[in-house]
Chain A
Amino acid sequence: MIKTSTIIFLCLGLFGVSGASTFDPETSIVEIEVTKETYDYTEPWATRSKQIRKNGILIGEYQILTTADGLSGQYLCRIKKGGSSKQYTASLKWVDYYANVAIFDVPDPTFRKGMQPVALTDTIPESGELQIYRWRAGRMEKRSAEIIRLYSGSSKMSYLEHLELSVASTIEAAGHSEIAFDDNQLTGLTTAASKGKLTILPAQFIAGVIKSHTLEDSGLGYFDFKYMYAKNPALLASKGLNLRDLGVIVTEVGSKGLAKNTLKQGDVILAIDGFEIDSEGKYIDPQYGRLSMGSLATRKHMAGESIQIRLWRNNREETVDYILPQASFEKSLIPEHRYDASPQYLIAGGIVFQPLNGPLIRALNGHHQFLFDYYNNRPPLEGHDGIVVIGAVLPDSYNEGCQSFIHLIIDQINGQKIYDLEDVKAALEAPKDGFHWIQLKPDEQIKHFVLDAKKMPGATARILKHYRIAREYSI
């Protein structure tokens, strides 16, 4: 996440600067043009550029609020106000990809002229109509939307769970941070659209994220365990519990690599943070009614805080303190996302070593071997930081016979276990009897191959030149 060195001590109340005035979308909503680097993980050395447009809304001290979606790799953002103004260069104050929230500043003081920040609502409407606004071709577009339901769902950008609104609207090609208003208050930003439905990130949740960043605290947390419903009375009875319609059973702990302690497989969770959990994993929220328990991680707590969990274990009830872990893709065996980071790779003798991660798997578009999916569905392996694969082979006389060794998982190089590219680099500095002995995972379709250590630097230089690749590695 990006933060500037300047900390502005704002509190939520300061965002309510225009709460009483009538909302004029043309003075509050802006169009954001994002120019960014994009990457092709199948050619990790290649950087391309792309431009997207999305919407933002002025809040607080003339800061621009938008979703984080689409900002990864950004290096030039420009703001247009009123549908036809000059382009103001904006600086990204901070972005939280996990929560899908970002704030921009516009240094040019003339930008503020005629602009009016708006207030964020501190409640989420559960029924009725909203208005959706955006700039399109220099004109303000307004559509109505009917609230379908409030629910607890996963963030578009991460596995975090929080409240979301589902609304029905006829607006087309939305989901790019269009602005949702309820009377004069900002209700939320759109994050996705599908078949006449929009998903809205509620302003109430956004306000919490902004507060967290203002106070520089530890960010949002996540319950790093999986559970199943406990609807079968025989299952609870087999654990000595004579209950019905209460509790869920923990089936896996630490699948995201965040927290392996406190909870155990087979625990029956009866209550979290004082809320009873029913047999379908729901609790009764005092404000919003029945919601999924996953959102309790983001409801009133931040990462690092302790949450009491009442559970049934070994035929007796216990209460444990669950330290809410901070969401972090990097702790997974195979990171699901990488934001604001170019692909990592290391080319040695034409063999392109790459860490296995979500962007690489998605870039292969299904054309990858089964083992990627297998390891992607496994919890982190003991002592494993990650997995390194051969992403590509750049054919050359040096690597003759290895051209088809693509998408294979490395186990060892020269007897050293390989978990990341630093390991590859270090292992290649210690050849055995003049050769690099490369061993793939035992379940791979090939287990061994060998490269000439002495000729490798020369071959790498020749191959980089031949394939017009500027850098040997990016780690």
Chain B
Amino acid sequence: MRLPIFIFSFATMFCTQFALASSERSIVKIINFMEQADWVEPWNSSKIQQGNGTGFVIEGNRIMTNAHVVSWSKQLVVYRYQDPKPYFAQIEFVGNDCDLAVLKVKDASFFKGLRPLQIGQLPKVRSTVTTYGYPVGGQQISYTKGVISRIEEQRYILPDNRHLLAIQTDAAINPGNSGGPVIQDDRVVGVSFQGISNLENAGFFIPPNVIKHFLKDIEDGTYHGFPGAGLRGLKLNNPAFRKALGLSNNSIGCRVDFISAHFPKTRELIKENDVILEVSGYKVGSDGTILYQGNQVLFSVLLKNLQHGERIDLKVWRDGNVLDIKLPLFFNSKDRNTGNQYTIPPYIIVGGLVFTEFSKNYIEAAYNNGKRFSWANHTEAIYALYYSDRQDDEVAARTIPIVLSKILKHPTNIDFGVGIHSVLSEVNGQPIHSMQDLKTALEREGDTFHRFRFRSGREEALNRFDAQAANAELLEQYNIPSAQKLELSND
């Protein structure tokens, strides 16, 4: 069952002054004035909203916080401990897959007298930690104490389609705590970030190995992200299956059930029904777990300790032989539309027809706005979105469905017989698998008409010249800065 998870930032502010402790001085309050994307009319944005969170000073005159604390930011204001003066911060690096970000502050005086907090080691289960932050319910810094309940992989709600190691604690973590440090023995052993709403006395924080991975990744000036192998490993408990694969019934080794089309190198080196016996020297149980620093966790944790492009050592059972395989790992960006995105979506307007990428965010926006979106009517598009990595066909594997998100009504398109949320299959005879395909197809020399075919089998046409004239009028009428925007950006 997928439990509802929430993240710990909230809205409201103000601070006062009080006693000091050296860690407290390094903890800052962050106010984010943000403007979120409009997934249906991508040239528009949401109204300005305000969110609060917490951050802490780290080496190099920087502030570490959660990515979700600074998402969609238009202005970031940071406050020192018990200091009413606002300082303006900018995002230096953001890792949406691990929900971490590093900020810089132009005014160097902000860091004066502040001790950078050091990142510690993975804490032990049952040990005690203290959380620091500016949660809802007051204006001053707040401390809560608790024990570490368990350590294992969790779904990170910010990207939604990524699982990384997380630590559960019974220390109260509330909205506004997000980005705040969790401290043990004067070292940061975590960053508070999310909770599960129907779990009582449970909050989650990001562990040191994820924090350190993020900091190491950005050392070269670019954030790549956490790599993976594209493997689906499944339990291998059934005695018949073990016997069929030539294995004894000893609870060692998990089975590779499937390999994602987004990882061709893995498909080359690993085969379905291979059995993973060891990863980086750790023995893998039949349930896919390893004993990692005293915690029973999935072996995938080891993959995520490495950086994009690095190789991992595997011992694999195949056809009665043990193979040593060095498997290269990569950050997968091809599934970006299946998770939450933090860039403004691309769009193309032609004759008042607005086309954009079909995505998880688009589906939610269309559904929440009640804009006649029905899952049952979009099974082909949803399949293309969420099942592309299951395909053997290379084109199907890279397809991002392109959807008609809006019709800006104009005499040219007033009788257009295809409704919004319809997904394109072909334009001017060219198959459409991306926004770039659409752009190329529209620019293709042809006859008098743009011809559109949709996945439902419906088709429509616009007179090219009428469409061009309509576009100019509609851009003016709706204050749209440009008829198209294909690159992904935050602006």
Contact = CB atoms under 8 A, between A and B. Distances in A.
Interface of A: 226, 228-235, 237-238, 249, 251-252, 265-266, 370, 373-374, 376-378, 399-402, 433-435, 437, 442-443, 446-452, 455
A399 B415 CA distance: 58
Interface stretch (B68-76, B206-214, B459-467): B459-467
A374 B461 contact: no
Nearest to A372: B379
A374 B382 CA distance: 9
B457 A226 contact: yes
A237 B448 CA distance: 10
A235 B417 contact: yes
A448 B456 contact: no
Nearest to A248: B417
**Minimum-distance CB pairs A-B, first 6:** A251-B457, A238-B461, A401-B238, A452-B240, A238-B449, A450-B241
Contact of A232 (B234, B244, B376, B461): B461
Interface of A is mostly: mixed
A378 B415 CA distance: 27
Given A234-B466, A400-B239, A401-B238, A446 B257 contact: yes
B379 A452 contact: no
B383 A374 contact: yes
Contacts of B459: 228, 235, 249, 251, 266
Contacts of B390: 442-443
B243 interface: yes
Given A251-B458, A443-B387, A237 B463 contact: yes
A402 B244 CA distance: 15
Contact of A446 (B234, B244, B273, B451): B234
Contact of B458 (A228, A234, A370, A443): A228
A447 B449 contact: no
Interface residues of B, number: 46
Contacts of A378: 379-380
Interface in B246-266: 255, 257-258
B272 interface: yes
Interface of B is mostly: mixed
A237 B461 contact: yes
A450 B272 CA distance: 13
Contacts of B387: 443
Given A234-B412, A234-B460, A446-B257, 9 more contacts: A228-B459, A235-B460, A237-B463, A251-B456, A370-B386, A401-B237, A437-B244, A451-B238, A452-B243
A265 B241 contact: no
Contact of B272 (A229, A402, A448): A448
A402 B240 CA distance: 11
Contacts of B162: none
Nearest to B240: A452
B425 to A, nearest CB: 11
A401 B460 CA distance: 51
Contacts of B462: 234
Interface of B: 234-241, 243-245, 255, 257-258, 272-273, 375-376, 379-380, 382-383, 386-387, 390-392, 412-413, 415-418, 447-449, 451, 456-463, 466
A351 to B, nearest CB: 12
A232 B416 contact: yes
B392 A442 contact: yes
B235 A401 contact: yes
A402 B255 CA distance: 14
B241 A401 contact: yes
Given A229-B417, A401-B235, A370 B461 contact: no
- Which of B241, B386, B412, B457 has the most C-beta atoms of chain A within 10 angstroms of its own C-beta? B457
A370 B379 contact: yes
A434 B244 CA distance: 8
A405 to B, nearest CB: 10
B415 A450 contact: no
21 contacts: A226-B457, A228-B417, A229-B417, A230-B417, A234-B449, A234-B463, A237-B463, A238-B461, A251-B456, A266-B459, A370-B382, A370-B386, A377-B376, A400-B239, A401-B235, A434-B244, A442-B391, A443-B383, A450-B241, A452-B239, A455-B240
Nearest to B287: A401
A448 B273 contact: yes
Nearest to B238: A401
Contacts of B375: 370, 373
B392 A232 contact: no
Given A230-B417, A251-B459, A447 B238 contact: no
B271 to A, nearest CB: 11
B417 A231 contact: yes
A409 B390 CA distance: 15
Nearest to A253: B457
Contacts of A449: 238, 241
Given A228-B417, A229-B417, A238-B451, A373 B244 contact: no
A450 B240 contact: yes
A374 B385 CA distance: 12
Contacts of A399: 238
A242 to B, nearest CB: 13
Contacts of A229: 417
Given A231-B415, A251-B456, A374 B257 contact: no
B379 A377 contact: yes
Contacts of B447: 238
B367 to A, nearest CB: 15
Contacts of A252: 456-457
Contacts of A234: 412, 449, 460-463, 466
Given A435-B244, A442-B390, A235 B238 contact: no
A252 to B, nearest CB: 4
A144 to B, nearest CB: 37
A108 to B, nearest CB: 49
Nearest to A225: B457
B431 to A, nearest CB: 15
Contact of B244 (A228, A376, A450): A450
Contact of B376 (A373, A448, A451): A373
Given A237-B461, A265-B457, A443-B390, A451 B417 contact: no
Contact of A373 (B241, B255, B379, B417): B379
A443 B237 CA distance: 23
A75 B236 CA distance: 48
A193 B386 CA distance: 40
Given A373-B379, A442-B392, A451 B240 contact: yes
A376 B379 CA distance: 9
- Which of A232, A373, A435, A449 has the most C-beta atoms of chain B within 10 angstroms of its own C-beta? A232
Contacts of B458: 228, 249, 251
A129 to B, nearest CB: 37
B272 to A, nearest CB: 7
Given A266-B459, A377-B380, A442-B390, A232 B238 contact: no
Nearest to B259: A447
B444 to A, nearest CB: 15
Nearest to A456: B240
A458 to B, nearest CB: 13
A468 B415 CA distance: 61
Contacts of A265: 457
Contact of B238 (A266, A376, A402): A402
B461 A235 contact: yes
A226 to B, nearest CB: 7
B379 A400 contact: no
A232 B466 CA distance: 13
Contacts of B415: 231-233
B240 A435 contact: yes
Contacts of A373: 375-376, 379
A162 to B, nearest CB: 25
Nearest to B376: A373
Nearest to B449: A238
A355 B237 CA distance: 28
A237 B415 CA distance: 13
